[in-house]
Amino acid sequence: MIGVGRVDRIAEPWGTRTPYGCGEVWPVRVDTHLADGVRAEDVERWVGTASILHSNGDAMDIAVKDGRMVGVRGRADDRVNHGRLGPKDLFGWQANASSDRLTQPLIRVDGRLVECDWDTAMDRITTRTKELLKEQGPSAIGFYTTGQLFAEEYYTLGVIAHGGIGTNHVDGNTRLCTATAAAALKESFGCDGQPGSYTDIDHADVIALFGHNMAETQSVLWSRVLDRLVGPNPPALVCVDPRLTAVAQAATVHLAPKPGTNVALMNGVLREIIDNGWIDQDYIDKHVVGFGELRARVKEYPPERAADICDVPAQKIREAARVLGGARRLLSTVLQGFYQSHQATAAAVQVNNMHLVRGMLGKPGCGVLQMNGQPTAQNTRECGADGDLPGFRNWANDAHVEELARVWNVESAQIPHYAPPTHAMQMIRYVEDGSIRLLWVSGTNPAVSLPELGRIRSVLSQERLFLVVQDLFLTETAQLADVVLPAATWGEKTGTFTNADRTVHLSEKAVEPPGEARPDLDIFLDYARQLDLRDKDGQPLVKWHDAESAFEAWKECSRGRPCDYTGITYAKLRERGGIQWPCNEDNPEGTERLYAGGTFWSDPEYCESYGRDLITGAPVEPQEYKAMNPSAKAVIKAAAYQPPHEPADEDYPFLLTTGRTLFHFHTRTKTARSPQLQAAAPEVWVECSTRDAAATGLREGDLAEVSTPRGSIRAAVRISGIRDGVLFLPFHYGYWDTPAGHEPDLHGRAANELTLTDWDPASKQPIFKTAAAALHRIEPGHGPSLAPTNTASAPAANDLPRTAGGAEAEAEENRGTAPEGGAR
């Protein structure tokens, strides 16, 4: 083996460089981390899976010894990561064995949660369900799920909710996460599904990241970009982000706009591209509708005007447009800096427009990745657990509903399709006003992750609400529940999931779940059984009994649809590793890129959606759509810029934005239980610029109060490279890990105490990236803040020691060859 080394992967999150050139194959580097004292030869089994702590889909094996997880190793032969793992992949698995896992169901008795058996817990839930169905009907029941279960589980939940109970109130936290990815893809291409592929990184000569801190949120994908950057013919990089992320530092052009101004920026860039003729008129004529409208709209945004709105130099907009317009193979990625804002879909669609006017789709190096965030968010969308109908079927197309009714063997009237599915923020509103009485939350922690937490806590703790929470831990949300169900998770159950470039992986059970914890699938199957849900012939509605039979059922439902899984089997996934859908008779090996040759899924009879008005969100009528796009072309939609709804003012002079750090995942239920990750970012901080710190009389590490019209929290100040006028808070820090004997400080540290109840009109994704805020000094700190120093939160003065993990955080890197015994 060549180049074996040990690397502190907290200090070096992206590991050692393996340079490669344009069009070459990304070299293999296999990363392994084993628990202290465990040697590779001690490992009894390696069990195949992929990462569950982001959307990248890094393929890996779990090391098992004496029935316990003892480490992980990247899979050399998988298309996604070629063996590499990121810090969360390497260390996050330790949370599974945490001593405070839920091991038994809990029910509320006299105001307190007490342990009980499964029959008692499930009986409470089914009894309450039946009562409500009788008293109020299906709309009394809502399901709020996640982007972190498996496809089989979502499909089962979708069948129960839509086909069995008949409620339209089904959504996932994917609403907070990738609703805009789905919405933008539907607007432009008539259907969800990423056009691009990760291999586009190997071929691109320009890579553009829009509101996407890939270095921290898809760290293995960023390693791929870094390896291109140090190889021959490196690509140029464009970064649009108000913070000085590692992406921004590596960029050829970095634009740091004022939060909430993305549409103005994109319009400015598009105007330059169109004005300079950097377009593919032939492609536009053949494959696109709506170009005229775009050309007219962006005329209103000369670089000077866009620069004024975004507060960036006009010259930089020109420079960015020149790089983007000169690209021969352009890859763009889009994520939360675009998605979690008031014009989310409008902004994300402009990135699609850029690719359409330049004809850069469906060819190596030419791709758009409207990224996902959560590991299995793609499946929530595909399987209909986000409220949409499974298989990307169109709720406004009766033929699609009838087809689905045939697959499920139910009457089509049974499947709610009278209106768009209820989105999560609206579901919370229905709980608030008392029309939803039973809310079943699985795999998400809304008491930390939804905006305006004061409101969320009061909504979820209402007496009249029957709240079911299905989780691994007694989270902030679980503490408010009437019934808590202990779930088995990744590594303890089997199922499939699909990453951001349509790669499907099989995740196999490696160890037994703790105590009486059960796979989410078994819980849903049990619920269907106890409710005695039937099809129209009186047979059980849910006809499967385990993960593989659920997968086979889902395959049938996907047949003939864009996300066609019919050519995939568990056996094939075991043998081959990741496979990209569609995979069927026509494409038995899967499909690398969509929309080659300008063929789209946007035919009125086939498309997933007729789209929406980007400004009002009103659904486009079928007739309107047919008139606009009769022959399955791509759709260009223009949008005027609108200012954010809560601008800064005298009382709240800053713009607050929120997001992530490399070392934590969301509400930290897993990463805070991993010693290496928790140590790297143990406490909340707030970032501000050098200028703003000086003006506010703040020094590094001082305790500050951050407030918005919703509330205030306290955090230690990190003076970082963030742009002036903007504050950044990581949203990872809730209250569950308050030390014993201390009251949780509800005015403590969760970013979402401060965020607002508001969303994008088209995707309904909440706005986490802009709010008006104030910053005040409370008292001096005890030294610098505990924010990481090797990420976007690095100190502007570069005067603090680099975050490191020491010996505990070392991983082995094997370069060039697969480890003995292959990758499985």
Structure tokens at 504: 């499907």
DSSP state of 655: E
Interaction partner, residue 769 (Mo ion, ligand MGD, none; CB < 5-8 Å by kind): ligand MGD
- Residue 558 binds to ligand MGD (criterion: CB under 6 A): no
Structure tokens at 613: 């008005």
DSSP state of 439: E
Q: Please count the other Cβ atoms lying within 10 Å of the Cβ belonging to residue 45.
A: 12
Angle (CA) 21-24-26 rounded to 5° is 90
CB-based contacts of 812, cutoff 8 Å, min separation 6:
4, 5, 6, 31, 32, 33
- Residue 101 binds to ligand MGD (criterion: CB under 6 A): no
- Residue 662 binds to ligand MGD (criterion: CB under 6 A): yes
Q: Which of 418, 414, 417 is nearest to 535 (CA)?
A: 414
Q: Which of 70, 95, 140, 177 binds Mo ion (CB under 5 A)?
A: 177
- Residue 427 binds to ligand MGD (criterion: CB under 6 A): no
Q: Which is nearer to ligand MGD, 168 or 372 (CB)?
A: 372
- Residue 226 binds to ligand MGD (criterion: CB under 6 A): no
**Judged by CB under 6 A, which stretch of 65-73, 234-242, 304-312, 541-549 contacts ligand MGD?**
234-242
What is the nearest approach in angstroms of Mo ion to the Cβ of residue 87? 18
Interaction partner, residue 388 (ligand MGD, Mo ion, none; CB < 5-8 Å by kind): none
Q: Which is nearer to ligand MGD, 47 or 823 (CB)?
A: 47
- Residue 141 binds to ligand MGD (criterion: CB under 6 A): no
DSSP state of 738: P
CA R_g for the chain: 25
Interaction partner, residue 337 (Mo ion, ligand MGD, none; CB < 5-8 Å by kind): ligand MGD
Chain residues 143-182 in contact with ligand MGD, contact rule CB under 6 A: 146-149, 173, 176-177
DSSP 136-203: T-GGGEEEEE-SSS-HHHHHHHHIIIIIII--S-EEETHHHHTHHHHHHHHHHHSS-S-S--TTHHHH
- Residue 51 binds to ligand MGD (criterion: CB under 6 A): no
Interaction partner, residue 442 (Mo ion, ligand MGD, none; CB < 5-8 Å by kind): ligand MGD
On the 0-12 / 13-18 / 19+ scale of CB atoms within 10 A, 551 is buried
- Interface mask (CB under 5 A) for Mo ion, residues 320-359, using x and -? ----------------------------------------
Alpha helices (H) in 358-509, listed in sequence order:
377-382, 398-408, 424-433, 446-449, 453-460
Q: How far is CA 697 from CA 603, 694, 706, 774, in A?
A: 59, 5, 14, 13
Q: Which is nearer to ligand MGD, 273 or 335 (CB)?
A: 335
**Judged by CB under 5 A, which stretch of 222-230, 365-373, 395-403, 580-588 contacts Mo ion?**
365-373
Strands 141-145 and 438-442, how do they pair? parallel
Q: Which of 33, 79, 212, 297 binds ligand MGD (CB under 6 A)?
A: 212
Q: Which is nearer to ligand MGD, 340 or 350 (CB)?
A: 340
DSSP 255-298: E-PPTT-HHHHHHHHHHHHHHTT-S-HHHHHHHEE-HHHHHHHH
Q: Which is nearer to Mo ion, 374 or 785 (CB)?
A: 374
Interaction partner, residue 241 (Mo ion, ligand MGD, none; CB < 5-8 Å by kind): ligand MGD
Q: Which is nearer to Mo ion, 173 or 397 (CB)?
A: 173
Q: Which of 223, 336, 414, 814 binds ligand MGD (CB under 6 A)?
A: 336
Cα atoms in the 13 Å half-sphere on the side-chain side of 130: 12
Interaction partner, residue 149 (ligand MGD, Mo ion, none; CB < 5-8 Å by kind): ligand MGD
Q: Which is nearer to Mo ion, 374 or 791 (CB)?
A: 374
- Residue 754 binds to Mo ion (criterion: CB under 5 A): no
CB-based contacts of 722, cutoff 8 Å, min separation 6:
242, 243, 244, 687, 688, 689, 728, 792
CA dist., res. 561 & res. 601, Å (int): 9
**Judged by CB under 6 A, which stretch of 21-29, 319-327, 525-533, 664-672 contacts ligand MGD?**
664-672
Structure tokens at 270: 């598009």
- Residue 522 binds to ligand MGD (criterion: CB under 6 A): no
**Judged by CB under 5 A, which stretch of 102-110, 169-177, 548-556, 649-657 contacts Mo ion?**
169-177
3-class state of residue 400 by DSSP: helix
Q: Which of 234, 365, 373, 734 binds Mo ion (CB under 5 A)?
A: 373
Q: Which is nearer to ligand MGD, 375 or 611 (CB)?
A: 375
- Residue 497 binds to ligand MGD (criterion: CB under 6 A): no
DSSP state of 820: T
- Residue 565 binds to ligand MGD (criterion: CB under 6 A): no
CA dist., res. 249 & res. 243, Å (int): 10
CA dist., res. 501 & res. 821, Å (int): 28
Q: Which is nearer to Mo ion, 373 or 486 (CB)?
A: 373
Structure tokens at 154: 């979502």
Interface with Mo ion by CB under 5 A: which residues?
A: 177, 373-374
Interface with ligand MGD by CB under 6 A: which residues?
A: 54-55, 88, 146-149, 173, 176-177, 210-213, 216-217, 240-243, 245, 257, 259-260, 262, 335-338, 340-341, 373-374, 442-446, 449, 470-473, 475, 487, 489-490, 520, 657-660, 662, 664-667, 669, 731, 751-752, 755, 768-769, 792
